[in-house]
Structure 1
Amino acid sequence: MSDTSPAEAFEAQRDRLRAVAYRVLGSHADAEDVVQEAWLRLSRQDTATIHNLTGWLTTVVGRISLDVLRSRQAHPQAFYDELVVTADDGPVPEDDVALTDSIGLALLVVLESLRPNERLAFVLHDLFAVPFEEIGRILGKSTAATKMLASRARGKVQATGGSTVAGREQRKVVEAFLAAARHGDFEGLLRVLDPEVKLTVDTGDGVVVVLGATKVAAGARLSASGVHGQAVLVNGLPGIVAWRADGTPLSVVAFTVIDGRIVGIAVVTDPAKLASIDLPEPGR
C-alpha cells in the first residue's frame, strides 16, 4: 500500500464501496453497515500486506454483502428502501426525473429475484467492471462458473426490458394474473406464475414470505374478493394500488415479470409505510 494512511485511503474509496454494496443489497442502511464493517476489517489488517487496496476492499465488501444476501433467505425482510409509485399512463416530459429514479429502483427490484451468487456476479462485473477472476474468489467458484452466473443474471435482467413494448407485455401478464385471481381460476394463475415465484408481504408487524406457484396461487384466490385496484408503476415495474371504500390505501403490489412469467410479487400493507408513499389519487 502507498504512504497514505489507511483512514485516508479508505475515505477515498468509501463512495464507490457504498455504491457497490447498495447495488448488491438494495438498501442504503445495509450498504452503510457493510461499508462500516469493511473499515473495521481494514483497521485490523496489516496494511503492509495489501498490494491492491481497491481490489482488497471490493473483495471484502463483496463477501460481506453476500453474507447479508444469504442471511435474508433465512430471515426474510422487506427489501424496499423507498417506493416510487406513479400512474401507469405513460411518462410525460416533466416526469423525466421521477422516471429515471424509477428505472434505477426497477433494477433493484429485478435484482431481488436473482439468487445471491447471480446477483453479486452481475453487479460486480456488469455494473462495476470487477474481473471474473476476482468475483470467482469471492464466491469460491471458478472463473468459468462465475461467468455463467453473470450471464444467467444478465439474461433475467434484460428479459424485464425497459421499453414501452416490454412494459406492455409485462402488464398483460399482470392483468392475466389479476383476472385469474378474481375468477378463482387456479390453472390460470399457475400459467402466469413462475414455479419458483416469491411472494413477499410487508405487514408492518413483520415480513411474510410465500414460495412456489401452488401456494401463491392458493393465496391469490382467497385474497382477490373485495379488492378495488388501480394500475400503477411501482419502482418502474407493473403494479397495483388497492383502495378501501373510503379512499384510503389498502396495499401496494409490485410484480416482477421475466420471460412472460411472474417471478416476484412484493406487497406492502403496512399502514405507516403506505401513508409515507406519494400515491396517485384514486381513479387517476
Structure 2
Amino acid sequence: MSVERFEEHRDLLTGVSYRILGSLTDAEDVVQEAWLRWSEADVSLVENDRAYLVRVVTRLAIDRLRRLKARRESYVGSWLPELVVTPDVAEHVELAGSVELALLVVLETLSPLERAVFVLREAFGLSYAEIGEVIGRGEAATRQLARRGREHVREGRPRFEVDHRLRRRLTERFAQAAMGGDLGALASMFAEDASLVSDGGGKARAPLRVITGAGRVLRFLTAIATEEGARRFLESVGAEPGDGFDVEIADVNGAPALLARVGGRPAAVFSLDVVDGLIRTVFLVANPDKLARL
C-alpha cells in the first residue's frame, strides 16, 4: 500500500527536484532517497501524502544543491542544466515553461532556499504558508525569500511570452540559415546584444567562455557550419568514420530546439532564448552527460 501511495506522487516529486537542481540524474537520486525514508517511516500517521513527500524531497534537494554549487564552480567552462524531453518532468503542459533552459540558467543565480521557494510558488502554486512549512520558515520570511527570488529572475530574464509555433518557425529558419551558410538571414534573427553560452563539460568541443555580441556569435556559428568546423566538432563528440549525421527540431525543456545526432546519438542541442521576436541567447549543450536523456 505504501508503495502505491508513493508512486502516485513520483512524477510530481521528480518535477520539483529537477527544477531545484537542474539535473534529472540528481533529481532521481533525491526521489530515491525520499522513497527510502518513506519506506522506513510509519506512513499510517501521514495525513497528507503529497504535502509530506514534497517537504521531504524539497529539503533533500536543497541540501544536495548546496553541495553541488561548490562543484559547479570548478566546472570546465559554463555549466548548463541537464536536458530533458519536457513530458519527463512536467505533469501538465502549463508547467513546461518552468523547465525552459533560459529560466533554469537564471535560477542558478539564486540561493538554494530562494530557488526552492520560487519553484514551489511559481511552478506549483503552493501558498506561502505551505512553503514555509516545507522549508522550516515563517510565512513572512518565506514571502521575503520569494520576493528576492522573483527580483533576481526578473533582472535576469524579463518575461516576454513567445508563441510556441513562432519559436518553432524561428528555430527552423535558424537551422536552415546556419547549415546553408546564409549569413544575412542569420544576422536578421539576432538581437544586437545576443550571446552564446556553451557547455561541453571538457568532453566535447565548445567555447569555454560566453561569446557576446551578435557579430561574434554569428562568426562562431558560421565557422562550425563549414565542412572543416563540422568535422572537428564531430570528432570531439566521438564520431566514427561512416557515422550518419542528422538534425531535427525537438521539444527540449519546454521549447523547440535544434537537436543534432551523430550515429543516432544526441551530439548537440541548440536552444534559442527569444525576446521580442529576436534571438537573445543561444544555448549550446554538447556535454554527452547532459544529453543522455534525449
TM-score of the pair, normalised by structure 2: 0.54
| Secondary structure of the structure 2 residue equivalent to 1:160 | coil
Contact 1:254–1:267 (CA<8 Å) still a contact in 2? Answer: yes
Number of aligned residue pairs: give it.
210
Once the two structures are TM-superposed, the CA of residue 256 in structure 1 deviates from its matched residue by 8.8
Indicate the residue corresponding to 2:9 in structure 1.
13
1:1-284 superposed matches below 5 A: 5-76=1-72, 78-82=79-83, 104-158=100-154, 159-163=157-161, 171-174=191-194, 202-204=200-202, 228-230=219-221, 246-248=228-230, 270=287
Letter aligned with residue 221 of structure 2: Q
Q: Deviations over 1:23-73 (max 9, x none)?
A: 222222222111111111001111233222211101001001111211111
Structure-2 change in CA distance of 1:114 and 1:205 (3 Å): same
Q: Give 3-state SS (helix, strand or coil) of 1:246's partner.
A: helix
Letter of the structure 2 residue corresponding to residue 162 of structure 1: F
Q: Matches of 2:290 and 2:63 in 1, distance apart? A: 30
Aligned partner of 2:201: which letter? T
Deviation (angstroms), 1:268: 5.3
CA shift at 1:103, angstroms?
A: 7.5
Amino acid at match of 1:160: P
Distance 1:119 1:242, change over 3 A: farther
Partner letter of residue 2 of structure 2? P
Structure 1: which 5+ residue stretches go unaligned?
Answer: 85-96, 179-198, 211-215, 232-240, 258-263, 279-284
Contact 2:115–2:149 under 8 Å retained in 1: yes
Task: Supply the AA of the counterpart residue of 2:193.
Answer: V
Q: Deviations over 1:107-143 (max 9, x none)?
A: 2223223221111001011211223233224434322
Q: Secondary structure at the match of 2:228?
A: coil
Residue 237 of structure 1 corresponds to none
> Does the CA-based 8 Å contact 1:200-1:266 persist in structure 2?
yes
Contact (CA 8 Å) 2:98, 2:123: kept in 1 or not? no
1:127 corresponds to which letter in structure 2? A
When the two chains are superposed, the root-mean-square deviation of aligned CA atoms in Å is: 4.7
Q: Is the 8 A contact 1:174 1:255 kept in 2?
A: no
Unaligned regions of 5+ residues in structure 2, if any? 86-92, 168-187, 234-267, 275-280
- Residue-by-residue CA offset, 1:154-175 (whole Å, 9 max, x unaligned): 23334432347xx99x943336
- The share of aligned pairs that are identical, in percent, is 35
Say if 2:46 and 2:52, in contact at 8 Å, map to a contact too: yes
Which residue type is aligned with residue 229 of structure 1?
Answer: F
The answer on whether the counterparts of 2:118 and 2:146 sit within 8 Å (CA) in structure 1 is yes
TM-score of the two chains, using structure 1 as the length reference: 0.56
Q: Which amino acid aligns with 1:44?
A: E
Structure-1 separation of matches of 2:273 and 2:152? 11
SS at match of 2:220: strand
Distance of aligned partners of 1:29 and 1:275 in 2 relative to their CA distance in 1, 3 Å threshold? closer
The answer to whether the 8 A contact 1:62-1:120 is kept is: yes
> Counterpart in 1 of 2:178?
none
Specify the code of the residue in structure 2 equivalent to 1:82.
L
Take 2:82 and 2:225, find their aligned partners in 1: how far apart are those partners? 23
